[in-house]
Amino acid sequence: MAHFFVQRKYNSFSSGFSLIEMVFVVFIMAVILIAFYNIFILGMQYSSNAKSRLGAVSLANQQIEYLRNVAYTDLGVQGGVPNGSIDPDEYMNVNGTRYRVLTDVRYIDDSSDGTLGGSPNDVIPNDYKRVRVTVKWGKETQQEQVYLLSDFIPVGLEQSAGGGILSVNAIESSGSGIQAANVYIENDGTGVNIHTMTDSTGNVSIVGVPAAALNTYEITVSKNGFETVSTMSPYPETAYHPADVHASVAEGGLTRKDIIINELADLHLTSKNMFGEIVGDINFTLSGGRILGLEDGTGTPVYSYDQNISFGSDGELRLQDLSPGTYSLSIHGSSGNQYLLYKSSPGIYSQSNAFALSAGADQDIDIFLADKNIPSLIVTVRDSSELNIQGVSVHLQNSTLGYDETLVTDMYGKVYFPTTVSIPLQNGQNYDLSVDGSSVGYDSKSSNITVNNLTERDIQLSAL
């Protein structure tokens, strides 16, 4: 028996691979093949990109050599400063690859002999021309483009090209310059139509911009993930007084234009009742974000976002790519028949229906709604200047019903009774209300309140 057992054990090992072993071997082979395949694909992509890069460098060199044969006075692009006949944006097909060739020509105010308005003052700021030729291919990513720079010096003495300098700064609210922001400068009257990008400091300076009537140079600044901001005509051509007005360029002058653009933000709103339960299918009006300007006469802000929004049955709404800033909510349409907007959280001290959206944020805001059709009480405590008082003790009592609860006012000077569904208020019943502001430097007041569905009471306290 012992010999038979050993023999069978030996046979089980010598009979070949088991199913599990076969699966493991196939898995290992698949991993190896996938790895080799990925390496092969990456190698092909690298080879193709290297070939395209060599073609792009060759095209850029050809364009620079072509421009060297153009007379200095004619060296410029269509709609540019300086103006010329060269196409600033053209496509070329070379060996099966489609290339985009961008040509930019601009005057340089070299600091070696002073600058316009500087010390020393250079009265002829167009010292020479700098040409940048950028060649892109594929998806035009940073890895799929090359550029060449070349300076072109005028023959003989400098001669004024006229016009002035337009300096555009793209900055965030913090004051930091925004590198590689797109800048578009247009003026139909002078034929200027420029697309360029900011340098590492967020600046673009164009020398020799033709002088024009006041506020006629339209400037647009944009960048992926940031706001797009365009200047506007002054009031009354624009229906309000715009915050960013078209630029002016004076002969021999320097115009500086600061354009503030911030990172866009995402917003997640959730609507709840006063007990923290989801409330769906509510309509609001949402207004806020970037201030585009002020209404004439009233000074009321005109915001970049002002729309009616609708929540789903889950009580949620997500909004993307919003300008940062202050936003305010108001209930829209029939939703206002049932609910009162109590507060947004987190919110702003001065406005219970408002909140701040930070640049680049993905922000969650809860909106609390008070049902108008249930017995409840909102007490708002303010001072003689109508400012909210936080930290005031508010006591509500009905000894007959056994109701006795004390709350402390929030940043909006508000409290809401009841705090739970299990201990409700009752319609038609009288409640004793005591407001004690002594802990925060105010007097105290008492009154009697009869509850009838959603009941509101404002209390004004005086400073001690």
Tell me, letter by letter, the H, E, C secondary structure of 34-101. HHHHHHHHHHHHHHHHHHHHHHHHHHHHHHHHHHHCCCHHHCCECCCCCECCECCEEEEEECCEEEEE
Q: What percent of the chain clears pLDDT 90, i.e. is strictly above it? A: 69
d(C-alpha 247, C-alpha 231), whole Å: 8
Reported as a single tens digit per residue, the pLDDT across 230-239 is: 999 999 999 9
Do residues 347 and 355 make contact, with C-beta atoms less than 8 angstroms apart?
yes
Do residues 204 and 168 make contact, with C-beta atoms less than 8 angstroms apart?
yes
Is there a cis peptide before residue 346, judged by omega within 30 degrees of 0?
A: yes
Mean pLDDT (the chain) is 90
* pLDDT of 220 above 80: yes
Q: What is the pLDDT of residue 55?
A: 86
Q: What angle do CA 113, 117, 119 make, to 5 degrees?
A: 50
Comparison of pLDDT for 36 and 357, the residue scoring more = 357
Do residues 295 and 345 make contact, with C-beta atoms less than 8 angstroms apart?
no
Q: What is the pLDDT of residue 415?
A: 98
d(C-alpha 380, C-alpha 388), whole Å: 8
* pLDDT of 390 above 60: yes
- Which band of pLDDT confidence, cut at 50, 70 and 90, is reported for residue 3? very low
Residue 152 CA, distance from chain mean position: 39
- Which band of pLDDT confidence, cut at 50, 70 and 90, is reported for residue 100? very high
Reported as a single tens digit per residue, the pLDDT across 150-194 is: 998 887 656 677 888 999 999 999 999 999 999 999 999 999 999
d(C-alpha 287, C-alpha 16), whole Å: 74
Do residues 240 and 300 make contact, with C-beta atoms less than 8 angstroms apart?
no
Q: What is the pLDDT of residue 13?
A: 43
Q: What is the pLDDT of residue 404?
A: 96
C-alpha distances (whole Å) from 209 to each of 92, 102, 245 are: 30, 20, 18
pTM across the whole model: 0.80
d(C-alpha 74, C-alpha 4), whole Å: 103
Do residues 442 and 463 make contact, with C-beta atoms less than 8 angstroms apart?
yes
- Which band of pLDDT confidence, cut at 50, 70 and 90, is reported for residue 41? low
| Domains of the chain and any CATH numbers | 164-260 (2.60.40.10), 265-371 (2.60.40.10), 376-460 (2.60.40.10)
C-alpha distances (whole Å) from 460 to each of 254, 380, 457 are: 56, 8, 10
d(C-alpha 363, C-alpha 172), whole Å: 19
- Which band of pLDDT confidence, cut at 50, 70 and 90, is reported for residue 22? confident
d(C-alpha 354, C-alpha 439), whole Å: 28
* pLDDT of 428 above 50: yes
